[in-house]
Amino acid sequence: MKSEIHTAILVEEEKTSEWLKDSLSRFSTCKKVSVLADVEEAIEFLNQDSYTLLFLDEVFINLLYTIHKPVFVVPICTKININRMKKLMKMGCFDILLPGNRDEQLTAILGKILNIHAFYGSAKGHHGIVSEKELEYRASMAKIIFTEESIFLPATKSQPSVRILLSEILFLQLEGDKILFYMENSERYERKKSLKYFLNRLPADCFQKINQKTIVNVRKIDQMLRGDTCRIGEMTFKITRSFKNELKSKLPL
């Protein structure tokens, strides 16, 4: 874990934004603090630059669905609602900034980030509202949320919400009106979205559309074959001519 903390702030109220910026500047470990103008700028910055910590208004929490870079997310709540707080934790938030003594809360949050391994090994949240079961859940999610790039798939009627590692995705395929994620561990996840929806949310240097039904993780391609095809494991895929050059430019030399 790096000792320097780079922080992004996305809040509507200027007073809260200024308080956060001023408070964070007092910590020697906070070397960089960026105030983001809106959600669009947040998506661009957070998926390109490396930030350690993101403070955001609770109303912007769906931003979690579009971030694939690892970052500690701390929503700012205006009310204390236990059920809502637990839901935010299950979504993958690291902690919650509540009304009250926020200076003390901020110090505790930064302390937990700097001692992340010790925190997940022994300590409970300073609000005292997270159950043992949820702490276990957060511990199991630590590797996914904070160390590797990932994508969040919202829940459907048949499947729960899940955050999956980009490094474990083999390919995405359109089947009927659904997109299926094929994973290294043989798991499959399906979502009723378009290929374009996920193509816009996956890092372009790793994922490439190769035909009208398939997006591949270029790092999982085992072999380029004759006849404009490629192989991932035992699966072969036809590469449409219009995508061939772009795919080749992303392949390792």
Domain end marker among 111, 146, 181: 146
Indicate the number of domains in the chain.
2
Roughly how many angstroms between the first and final C-alpha of the chain, as a whole number?
31
Which residue, 146, 168, 187, sits at the end of a domain? 146
The alpha-helical segments, DSSP class H, found in the chain are 14-25, 39-46, 82-90, 102-114, 116-122, 132-146, 195-199, 241-250
Please check whether residues 159 and 137 belong to one and the same domain: no
Residue ending a domain, among 93, 116, 146, is: 146
Note whether 25 and 109 are same-domain residues. Answer: yes
Residues of the domain holding 190: 153-250
Q: Which residue has the higher pLDDT, 216 or 64?
A: 216
Residues 55 and 169 in one domain: no
Work out the average pLDDT over 102-122: 68
CATH number at residue 158: 2.40.50.1020
| Element containing residue 31 per DSSP (H, E) | strand 30-35
| pLDDT tens track for 224-244 | 988 799 999 999 999 999 999
What's the predicted TM-score (pTM) here? 0.56
User: How far is the C-alpha of 178 from the C-alpha of 191, rounded, in Å?
Assistant: 6
Cβ atoms 119, 109 nearer than 8 A: no
- 184: pLDDT strictly greater than 70: yes
Q: Are residues 15 and 101 in the same domain?
A: yes
- Write out 189-236 in H/E/C secondary structure: EEECCCHHHHHCCCCCCCEEEEECCEEEEHHHCCEEECCCEEEECCEE
Question: What was the pLDDT predicted at 10?
Answer: 93
